[in-house]
Amino acid sequence: MINTDGKPHGNIKKIIKCFFIGIAVVLLVIVIGVIVLFGNELRTLFSLEKIDGYGAYQMTYYGDYGFDEFLEIGASSDEDIEKFVTKRLLKGLPIDLGVTGCGCTAFVTRNEKGDVLYGRNFDFLYAPSLQLYTEPKNGYKSVSTVNLSFAGYSEDYLPDGSLFDKFLTLAAPFLPFDGMNEKGVAIALLAVPEAEPPYDSNKITLNTTTAIRLVLDNAATVEEAVELLQNYNIYFSGDVECHYLIADASGHSVIVEFYDDELQVVEAETDYQIASNFIAYNDLNIGEGFTEFERYDAVEKELLDNNGILNENDVISLLAKVGVQDGEVDKLQWSVVYNLTTGDVRLFIHRDTNNVIATKLEMSKEE
C-alpha cells in the first residue's frame, strides 16, 4: 500500500531493511568462515613479496602445513604428493609437479671469524624461486629455497597477480631444493648420473624434496640428518637422481649418496667439502660429462689459494664465477650463502650480484 504522502508503507520499509540486514549478516558469516578456515593460508599469501625481477619471491608460511601427517603415509610417486598437497594445503586445487634436473655446485667452508658458510648454486633452465620461512609447531624454524617451476610456475606464469595466481605457492613447504634450519643444519640436492637407493617395505617413502623438509624440520646435527634419511625410503621425482650435501654449525659436513642399494656417507677429508654433479663415494667420480669437474676444481682452487677461508663476499663472487654458462644461455638460477653460525642468509638471482638479498634466520643452539 502507498500512503497519501506517496511514500511506501512502513511495513515494506521494514521488509527491505531486514532483507539488507540479512544479506549483511550472511556476508559477515561467510567472511568469518573464510578467515577461520583459510586464515593462515591468506596470511601466508599476503606475505608473498617479489624480491627480484627475474622471478624470485619471499614468503613466510603461517600455520601447520601437515608434514607430520605426511610422514605417517609418505608418497611412492609424485602423484601421491600431488594428492596430499591438493587435499591438505590447496583445498582441492590440483597441482602438477613439474620436475627439473639441475647442474649445481655446493660447498662448505669457514670465514675469518670461524663461522661455517654453506654456498650453493642451482643451475638449470628458467626456474622462478621462492625463499620460504617456516616455523612448524613440532619442528625447527627454517629458511629454504623452493623451485617454483616444480609447482607449475614458469616465465609466462608467475605468482604476481591475484590470490588465485599465488595459490600454488602454498605447496612450497613440500618443495625445498636447499635450506638451513635454526640449529644450523643446511642441506641441498644436486643431480648425479645415477643413484640406487635401498628399499625396505617396512619404511615410509619420501621423494627428493620432502627428504629435505624432513631434515630441515627435525635434524639438529649432520648425524641426526643422516639417521633420519636412513629411516625412510627415498625415490627421485621425475627420475632425476640426486645426492645431498649436508652440513651443520660445528663444521661437520657429509655428502649423502645412494649407491649399491645403500645409503652411502662421504665424509670430508679436509676442513672444507665440495659437491658437484658426480658421485663422490669411494672416489668413483662418476660424472654427467658436462662441467661438473671443472666447477669442482675451480671451487677447490679458490679454497686452497685462501687456506680454506672465504668471507661471505668471497663466496658470493665464487658462486657467480662457477655458475653454469651454456653458450649464450646463463643457467645459473639462484645462489645462496647460509651462515650456519649466525643464521645470516645471502641470496642472489641469475648471477646478479648487484642485488644480494640479505635476510636472517633466528638461531637456537641450546639443546
Give the confidence band of 210 by pLDDT, cuts at 50, 70, 90.
Answer: very high
CATH assignment at residue 254? 3.60.60.10
Q: Is the pLDDT confidence value at 27 over 90?
A: no
pTM: 0.90
The pLDDT tens digits of the residues spanning 112-125 come to 999 999 999 999 99
Residue 163's pLDDT is 87
Q: Are residues 253 and 270 in the same domain?
A: yes
Number of other residues whose CB lies within 10 A of the CB of residue 86: 15
For 130, the grid coordinates are: 621462492
Q: Is the pLDDT confidence value at 17 over 80?
A: no
What is the rounded distance in angstroms from the CA atom of residue 192 to the CA atom of residue 102? 9
pLDDT cut 90: percent of the chain above it: 79
Residue 9's pLDDT is 59
Residue 289's pLDDT is 87
Question: What number is the average pLDDT over the span 204-218?
Answer: 97
What is the rounded distance in angstroms from the CA atom of residue 190 to the CA atom of residue 244? 6
Residue 94's pLDDT is 74
Q: Are residues 98 and 64 in the same domain?
A: yes
The pairing of strands 344-349 and 357-360 is antiparallel
Q: How many domains does the chain have?
A: 2
The whole-chain average pLDDT of the chain stands at 91
Domain that holds residue 29: 7-46
Is residue 168 assigned to a domain? yes
Residue 37's pLDDT is 54
The string over 136-153, giving b where at least 16 C-beta atoms fall within 10 Å of a residue's C-beta and e elsewhere, is: beebbbbbbbbbbbbbeb
Is residue 366 assigned to a domain? no
The answer to whether 91 and 38 are in contact (CB under 8 A) is yes
Which residues contact residue 234 at a Cβ distance below 8 angstroms, ignoring those fewer than 6 apart? 197, 205, 206, 207, 208, 211, 258
Instruction: Quote the DSSP letter at residue 72.
Output: H
Number of other residues whose CB lies within 10 A of the CB of residue 128: 26
Q: Is the pLDDT confidence value at 96 over 70?
A: yes
Residue 347's pLDDT is 98
Question: What number is the average pLDDT over the span 192-212?
Answer: 97
Residue 35's pLDDT is 53
User: Any idea what the Cα angle at residue 228 is, between residues 227 and 231, rounded to 5°?
Assistant: 90
The pLDDT tens digits of the residues spanning 298-312 come to 999 999 999 999 999
What is the rounded distance in angstroms from the CA atom of residue 172 to the CA atom of residue 154? 15
Q: Does residue 278 come out as left (phi exceeding 0), alpha (psi in the -120 to 50 range) or beta? A: beta
Look up cell 539488507; give the residue: 20
Residue 102's pLDDT is 65
Q: Is the pLDDT confidence value at 34 over 60?
A: no
Q: Are residues 85 and 202 in the same domain?
A: yes
Q: Are residues 111 and 252 in the same domain?
A: yes
Q: Are residues 170 and 195 in the same domain?
A: yes
